[in-house]
Each structure stands twice: as structure tokens, then as C-alpha cells.
Amino acid sequence: MPNEPQAVLLDDAETSPVAPGIVRRALPSSGQVLVRAFDLEAGITWPEVDVHDRDELIYVASGELLDHGRSYPAGTYLYYRAGSRHQPRTETGVRIIVFGPAEAPLTA
């Protein structure tokens, strides 16, 4: 039915490996907003510095994300502006939901 939402249990979403200890989960997204979930195992650091060419919105769904010398527990919402950079990690394991524009803005 067109009025019903498309529902996906995160644990059932299709996965693809990003790096050892990091799994991406594909989630239904609109044409303008891209949504993904990432699971990082305990003791994992993102493999490279993540430089954003567009805004990135992160919700920490479970565990604890460590970034910029701070701890972000489950329930934390983070907003990274285009042009920002970070290399997140976790000691406990973490699941994050990442939202952002499907395409980077055009630059003049």
C-alpha cells in the first residue's frame, strides 16, 4: 500500500563490509536523503580520516562512539557540517545511523 511505511529491522538489513570490524547496513532512503547504519566492533577505529563533502547527521543507536576526544553514548545526535573531518572509534562497540544528502552540493 502506498500509505504504509517501508519498515526494516536493522539486524535484518542487507550488509556489506567496509573494513575489518565495520559493517554497513543499507536502509531504505529517499532520492534526496541517504540513510545507512554502521556497526563497529569493540576496539575499532574508522580506517581513514572521514572528510565530508556534504553535511552528515549521526545518531548513536547503541554503544559508545569516541570522536574528537569526547565520548558520545547511545542516544546522542551529532551534526557534522560539510567540510568537517573526523576519525571515529569505539572501545565498546557502537551502532550508528547516518543521514545525509544523497549528493554533494554543487560548488561554483
Architecture of domain 32-101: Sandwich (2.60)
pLDDT digits (tens, 9 = 90+) for 5-42: 889 999 999 999 999 999 999 898 887 889 999 999 99
pLDDT digits (tens, 9 = 90+) for 56-86: 999 999 999 999 999 999 999 999 999 999 9
Rounded-to-integer distance, Cα 54 and Cα 92, Å: 28
Say what the pTM is.
0.89
Q: Where are the domains of the chain?
A: 32-101
Task: Give the model's pLDDT for residue 1.
Answer: 59
Task: Give the model's pLDDT for residue 75.
Answer: 98
- Reported as a pLDDT band with limits 50, 70 and 90, residue 107 is low
- In degrees and rounded to multiples of 5, residue 50 shows phi and psi of -90, 110
Task: Give the model's pLDDT for residue 2.
Answer: 72
